[in-house]
Amino acid sequence: MVAIRAGKAGADPEPAWREGRAETQAQLAALSRRGVHIIAENNGHSLALENPTLVATAVEAVVGVVRGAVFDVSDVRKLARSAGG
């Protein structure tokens, strides 16, 4: 399970929303023994449009586990730190 959250400044107009969303997504990731919560530092809420490679790489990591691979999100984390796109 990979929960990806927007990290771009201004993605949440209210600080309480930002805090609540971060907490909720961390809780969501914790539902799985292998769940991770990743912040896409330079992306807003339209992650699939702004950084489709990030989303596709996260999906590939989860599908890989279903097919027997080791759960590796290192590429997802790298993409989340990059400018994206």
Q: Where are the domains of the chain?
A: 2-81
pLDDT above 80 for 12: no
Give pTM, 2 decimals: 0.80
In tens, the pLDDT along 37-71 reads: 999 999 988 889 999 999 999 999 999 999 999 99
Looking at residue 22, its pLDDT comes to 79
pLDDT above 80 for 18: no
Neighbours of 35 (CB within 10 A): 16
Mean pLDDT (the chain) is 87
Buried b (16+ CB within 10 A) or exposed e, 42-64: bbbeebeebbeebbebbeebbee
